[in-house]
């Protein structure tokens, strides 16, 4: 991880196809593009590879979440249950449609704790949004059962787990809809981009229009399209889709390398006393883009992080102190610093929820460290990293 590490002739060929036509936009210009439709081709490949009925490419993973929520009918006053550990885009998307992000505890799976989800359901709850963090998956059976019990929508934020599966089904295809991010540091990259995946035709049609100014795309040309509803400009470009076409064809190899190295690194650290590993609800479906592990105490964890810093060992993620991924550092959300105006009752509700204590999540994240499984390491570099991480972890628990 990530896909940008393997970027070569295949990506350049696909991009040059687009450059030769000069048509960079995904819609229109039918004659000039000479039959070249990279976005449509990638959407078809996504449906085939991941096993969904429909795929709508958009400009980013954030745009995919926003589009999916709009298509699923999420809006003003609705409460969306999401984890305390995620990327900021998750709550940004919830707020973008006027809904309220209900931050909810995670456990040692680093994903939503189903018991905590149950505790947070109110009459205003409309959706549960599990985030499949760091390459692995949420407890999908339990979350689906909760959604069925309370008549809730299930939207998967699978932006960090492209290629992962749960009991034979690809992450992102299990709920009412699912999303991927194809930004530069994802398992599969387009440079920038995202996708909404669904098996619901109505959700797809709404996603298709919403992501392109409400166009219904049923006219004989773009200018003849009707506009059944208002939409926005979340289009992907043909250049970005072209990169994705090359990347999806190498995804199997990416996952193979990640899983092999993940196993080697986990074996190397297994001998360290007191160290434990992330819970994975279906280990066979883990993308293995990260290895995440726990020390027994916060003090040991911080000592390990300090030792890695002193040793100038890159790629050590202590999420507890990370201002992109964990509630503890999201001051802009806690203070509701928004450039556009929101209803006062929405602002107050958000502040109330996000400023609550999260001792369960703190107890998990304060002891957690993750390391990415890079593709660019040579075998020698990887072996050295395994040995160094083991040495420093053993030193931290003394």
CA quadruple 292, 295, 301, 307: dihedral, nearest 10 = -80
Q: Which of 140, 135, 143 is nearest to 163 (CA)?
A: 135
> CA gyration radius for the chain?
21
| DSSP letter string, 151-183 | T-EEEEE-TT-TT-EETTEETTSSSSEEEEE-B
pLDDT confidence of residue 1: 59
Question: Catalytic positions, please?
Answer: 186
Query: CB burial class (10 A; 0-12, 13-18, 19+) of residue 45?
Result: middle
Domain ranges of the chain: 3-251, 252-396
Distances in Å between the Cα of 295 and the Cα atoms of 22, 298, 306 are 54, 7, 14
- With CA atoms as reference, report the closest residue to 232 among 66, 23, 26: 66
CATH tag for 252-396 (out of 3.90.1170.10, 3.90.1150.10, 1.10.357.10, 3.90.76.10)? 3.90.1150.10
Q: What is the pLDDT of residue 311?
A: 97
Q: What is the pLDDT along the chain (398 residues), one digit of tens a residue?
A: 577 899 999 999 999 999 999 999 999 999 999 999 999 999 999 999 999 999 999 999 999 999 999 999 999 999 999 999 999 999 999 999 999 999 999 999 999 999 999 999 999 999 999 999 999 999 999 999 999 999 999 999 999 999 999 999 999 999 999 999 999 999 999 999 999 999 999 999 999 999 999 999 998 788 889 999 999 999 999 999 999 999 999 999 999 999 999 999 999 999 999 999 999 999 999 999 999 999 999 999 999 999 999 999 999 999 999 989 999 999 999 999 999 999 999 999 999 999 999 999 999 999 999 999 999 999 999 999 999 999 999 999 99
Residues 315, 326: Cα–Cα separation, whole Å? 17
Burial of 334 (0-12, 13-18, 19+ CB in 10 A): middle
| Domain range 3-251, its CATH number among 3.40.960.10, 3.40.640.10, 2.30.42.10, 3.40.605.10 | 3.40.640.10
Beta bridge partners of 156: 178
pLDDT at 331: 96
pLDDT at 224: 87
Please give the pLDDT value at position 220: 79
- Which residues contact residue 296 at a Cβ distance below 8 angstroms, ignoring those fewer than 6 apart? 274, 367, 397
pLDDT computed for residue 2 by the predictor: 73
CB 207 within 8 A of CB 188: no
Among left, alpha and beta (phi > 0; psi -120 to 50; other), residue 129 is beta
């Amino acid at each position: 991880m990530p896909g940008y590490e393997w970027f070569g002739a295949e990506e350049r060929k696909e991009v040059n196809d687009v450059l030769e036509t000069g048509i960079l936009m995904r819609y229109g210009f039918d004659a000039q593009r000479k039959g070249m439709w990279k976005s449509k081709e990638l959407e078809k490949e996504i449906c085939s590879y991941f096993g969904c009925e429909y795929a709508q490419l958009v400009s980013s993973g954030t745009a995919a979440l926003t589009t999916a929520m709009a298509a699923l009918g999420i809006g003003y006053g609705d409460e969306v249950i999401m984890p305390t550990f995620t990327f900021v885009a998750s709550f940004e998307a919830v707020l973008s449609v006027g809904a309220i992000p209900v931050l909810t505890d995670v456990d040692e799976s680093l994903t939503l704790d189903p018991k905590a989800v149950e505790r947070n359901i109110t009459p205003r709850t409309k959706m549960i949004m599990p985030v499949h963090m760091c390459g692995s998956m949420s407890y999908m059976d339990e979350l689906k059962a909760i959604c069925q019990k309370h008549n809730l929508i299930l939207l998967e934020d699978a932006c960090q787990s492209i290629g992962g599966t749960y009991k034979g089904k690809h992450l992102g295809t299990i709920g009412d809809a699912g999303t991927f991010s194809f930004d530069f540091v994802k398992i599969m990259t387009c440079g920038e981009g995202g996708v909404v995946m669904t098996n619901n035709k109505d959700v797809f049609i709404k996603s298709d229009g919403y992501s392109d100014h409400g166009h219904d795309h049923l006219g004989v040309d773009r200018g003849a399209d009707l506009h059944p509803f208002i939409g926005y400009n979340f289009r992907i470009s043909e250049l970005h889709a072209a990169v994705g076409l090359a990347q999806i064809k190498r995804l199997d190899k990416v996952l193979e390398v990640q899983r092999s190295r993940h196993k080697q690194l986990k074996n190397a650290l297994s001998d360290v006393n007191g160290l434990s590993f992330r819970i994975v609800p279906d280990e066979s479906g883990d993308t293995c883009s990260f290895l995440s592990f726990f020390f027994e105490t916060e003090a040991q964890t911080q000592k390990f992080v300090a030792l890695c810093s002193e040793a100038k060992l890159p790629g050590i993620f202590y999420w507890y102190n990370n201002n992109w991924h964990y509630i503890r550092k999201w001051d802009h959300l806690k203070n509701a610093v928004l450039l556009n105006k929101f209803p006062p009752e929405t602002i107050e509700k958000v502040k109330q929820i996000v400023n609550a204590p999260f001792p369960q999540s703190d107890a998990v994240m304060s002891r957690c460290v993750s390391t990415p499984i890079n593709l660019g390491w040579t075998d020698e570099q990887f072996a050295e990293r395994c040995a160094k991480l083991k040495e420093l972890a053993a030193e931290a628990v003394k």
